Amino acid sequence: RAVCDSSSLAAFDRDMAAQYRSGIANADPDQRRLLVQTRDRFLGYRERCGSDECISRIYRGRMREIDDILAGRWQAPR
Indicate the pLDDT class of residue 2, thresholds 50, 70 and 90: low
Share of the chain above pLDDT 90, in %: 68
User: 3-35, pLDDT tens digit by residue?
Assistant: 767 788 889 889 999 999 999 999 999 999 999
Question: Average pLDDT, whole number, for the chain?
Answer: 90
Burial readout 18-57 (b: 16 or more C-beta within 10 A, e: otherwise): eebeebeeebeeebeebbeebbeebeeebeeeeeeeebee
Taking the whole predicted model, whether its pTM rises above 0.75 is answered as: yes
* Farthest-apart Cα atoms in the chain, separation: 35
Cβ within 8 Å of residue 5, ≥6 positions away? none
> What are the angstrom distances between the C-alpha of 19 and each of 16, 25, 33, 48, 59?
5, 10, 16, 23, 11
The arithmetic mean of pLDDT across residues 44-53, rounded, is 90
pLDDT the model gives residue 4: 66
